[in-house]
């Protein structure tokens, strides 16, 4: 029987079966965060690093594609402004001004169709910017056995506009120069040699067409530059 005493009185309370006993486990060193992880987490497969790299590559390609779209939109805007200027001043433009506008609009670029087997390839002359970009890449392998191949690779990737009647961008599914270079790498070496030979012919034709051939043309060009 349990006995409780205090200054105001005492009380005896009967108990049945004696004092209740409780078992308390030893939890020395216990910490809430040290609980064992559920079995489904402890058995998770390892991270696939290849999948991560592929995902990052896709994100980088998407970013580059967006950048190219923005650049193309800016170029198109500039061309539209130049065309509008040409239309508005059509009756007042002299031949020298017309020639400068044609150069600005890319109308002086020459093209060459090359039929090989049942397929027709179309090449165009390059702009100054495209040639400069090509030379920057070629300079990285200058003096090595890769240089002649890199010259052909860089120029054809930018010059080839159509394949079998389809625009190159649509044919390979991309307008990125990196993807065009990869496409060129996969073509037959003899085919590339033929296409590059045709490009050289086209380039020579362009130089012959726009080169100054006599003193009269030199004078004409100087007069145009003064206007």
Judged by average pLDDT, the poorest of 12-26, 116-130, 163-177 is: 12-26
pLDDT exceeds cutoff 50 at 101: yes
Judged by average pLDDT, the poorest of 71-75, 131-135, 185-189 is: 71-75
As a whole-number percent, the residues of the chain with pLDDT over 90 amount to 39
Helix (H, G, I), strand (E, B) or coil at 25: coil
Rounded (10°) angle between helices 49-88 and 95-104: 170
Domain ranges of the chain: 53-103, 109-226
CATH topology of domain 109-226: rbstp2171 (3.30.2220)
First to last CA, the chain: 123
pTM: 0.51
DSSP string computed for 135-154:
HHHHGGGTTSTTHHHHHHHH
DSSP string computed for 50-77:
HHHHHHHHHHHHHHHHHHHHHHHHHHHH
> Measured between alpha carbons, how far is 183 from 197 in angstroms, rounded to an integer?
18
- Other beta carbons within 10 angstroms of residue 125's beta carbon come to 21
Query: Taking the alpha carbons of 191, 146, 204, 108 in that order, is the dihedral positive or negative?
Result: positive
> Measured between alpha carbons, how far is 25 from 22 in angstroms, rounded to an integer?
10
Report residue 7 as tokens. 């200054």
């Amino acid at each position: 029987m349990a006995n409780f005493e205090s200054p105001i009185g005492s009380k005896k309370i009967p108990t049945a079966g004696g004092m209740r006993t409780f078992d308390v486990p030893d939890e020395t060193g216990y910490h809430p965060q040290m609980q064992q992880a559920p079995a489904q987490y402890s058995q998770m497969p390892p991270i696939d690093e290849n999948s991560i790299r592929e995902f990052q590559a896709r994100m980088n390609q998407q970013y580059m594609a967006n950048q190219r779209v923005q650049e193309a939109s800016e170029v198109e805007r500039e061309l539209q402004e130049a065309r509008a200027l040409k239309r508005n001043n059509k009756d007042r433009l002299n031949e020298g001004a017309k020639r400068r506008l044609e150069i600005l609009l890319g109308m002086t670029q020459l093209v060459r169709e090359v039929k090989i087997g049942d397929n027709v390839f179309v090449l165009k002359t390059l702009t100054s910017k495209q040639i400069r970009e090509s030379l920057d890449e070629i300079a990285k392998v200058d003096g090595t056995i890769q240089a002649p191949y890199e010259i052909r690779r860089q120029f054809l990737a930018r010059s080839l506009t159509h394949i079998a009647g389809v625009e190159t961008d649509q044919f390979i599914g991309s307008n990125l120069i990196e993807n065009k270079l990869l496409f060129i790498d996969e073509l037959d070496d003899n085919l590339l040699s033929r296409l590059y030979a045709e490009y050289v012919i086209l380039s020579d034709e362009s130089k012959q067409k726009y080169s100054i051939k006599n003193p009269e043309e030199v004078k004409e060009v100087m007069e145009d530059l003064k206007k």
